[in-house]
Amino acid sequence: MPAEPLADGALTLPDVAARPDPAARGRRVPVVSLGIIVLFVLVAILAPFLSPADPGEQSLRNRFKPPVWMEGGSSKHLLGTDRLGRDMLSRMIWGSRVSLAAGVVTVLLASAFGAGVGLVAGYHGGMVDAVLMRATDATMSFPVILLALILAVTVGPSFTNVVVAIAVILWARYARVIRGQVLTLMGLDFIAQARIAGAGAWRIITRHLFPNTLNTLVVLVTLQIGYVIIVEASLSFLGAGIPPPTPAWGSMISEGREFVTSAWWVSSLPGLAILLVVLAFNLLGDWLRDTLDPKLRQL
């Protein structure tokens, strides 16, 4: 017979053993999140082959066609059309390429520079650390939206300006986190042993410090991709991001905001795409954080 709970509410050994380990449950592969990410990546890569129509082709006779499952919908436009009669499915497919490219390129640039700053500041300390961290603090205090708007006004909105505006601000987050981890590593014995063995600064940073911060960097990169996608969509919504007629999810939401009650799909479908992608990257980042944590790996 299975053991019963004790009178004071404590569980007997069989009951405790039967309860799942929360750490093990947290390390389960997020199949749904990975599936969503892989799906959107494949859609972005294969956009020229998957797009049923030219995303910029206009047809005022077909403007505001509803999706195929609604009354008046057509199988020619599965997700309907916008105010210029452009196919929504095609524009969302090509928009995934813009959003994912902006997220990946921006995060790679910001993480490379920010990690380098954090490694140098944490290793050298002293005046070098003070100068680099004050520059980091100043950068983190500057709003990315304002910088993007300034670039859009002075130079003009473009994909390059969006990447530059976000990366110039985002690197400080990586520098701050990596620097804190390096300061912890600098107090460990293996760094002292490397110095005694005659290892120089470059070797210690590249062979000892950087590999031990790589797990943290991977988690930050995964989490920040979703953030960059939201910022890029916000800039495109404000007109400071990807300029038309290039399809971008943020600009598509902006174009449909005046027709939410009559043509909800114009803005709702791109918003749903942003929601799914950002949520998938955030869940993947949480899983990586739990999986790569040495304390949890020992459980």
User: CB of 241 within 8 A of CB of 148?
Assistant: yes
- Domain membership of residue 16 (yes or no) is no
Query: Residue 293: which pLDDT band, with cuts at 50, 70 and 90?
Result: low
Residue 225 has pLDDT above 80, yes or no: yes
pLDDT digits (tens, 9 = 90+) for 5-54: 444 444 443 443 344 444 444 467 889 999 999 999 999 999 999 999 88
In this structure, the chain runs to a length of 299
Query: Residue 106: which pLDDT band, with cuts at 50, 70 and 90?
Result: very high
Query: Residue 292: which pLDDT band, with cuts at 50, 70 and 90?
Result: confident
- Domain membership of residue 14 (yes or no) is no
User: CB of 129 within 8 A of CB of 122?
Assistant: yes
pLDDT digits (tens, 9 = 90+) for 186-222: 888 888 888 888 888 888 888 889 988 988 899 899 9
pLDDT of residue 179: 93
Query: Residue 296: which pLDDT band, with cuts at 50, 70 and 90?
Result: low
- Work out the mean pLDDT of the chain and round it to a whole number: 84
Distance in angstroms (rounded) separating the CA atoms of residues 85 and 10? 66
- Domain membership of residue 124 (yes or no) is yes
Q: How much helix, strand and coil, in percent to the nearest 5, is found in the chain? A: 70, 0, 25
- Domain membership of residue 144 (yes or no) is yes
Over residues 163-178, mean pLDDT: 91
Number of domains in the chain: 1
User: CB of 171 within 8 A of CB of 114?
Assistant: yes
pLDDT of residue 17: 39
Lowest mean pLDDT among 47-61, 120-134, 256-270, 285-299: 285-299
* Residue 81: strand, helix, or coil: strand
13-44 residues labelled b (16+ CB within 10 A) or e (exposed): eeeeeeeeeeeeeebeebeebeebbeebeebb
- Residue 60: DSSP 8-state: G
- Domain membership of residue 17 (yes or no) is no
- Residue 257: DSSP 8-state: G
Residue 59 has pLDDT above 50, yes or no: yes
Compute φ and ψ for 12, nearest 5 degrees: -75, 170
CATH of the domain at 82: 1.10.3720.10
Distance in angstroms (rounded) separating the CA atoms of residues 227 and 102? 11
- Domain membership of residue 272 (yes or no) is yes
pLDDT of residue 140: 87
- Domain membership of residue 122 (yes or no) is yes
- Domain membership of residue 258 (yes or no) is yes
Domain span at residue 260 reads 29-297
What percent of the chain clears pLDDT 70, i.e. is strictly above it?
Answer: 89
User: CB of 292 within 8 A of CB of 233?
Assistant: no
pLDDT of residue 295: 56
Residue 240 has pLDDT above 50, yes or no: yes
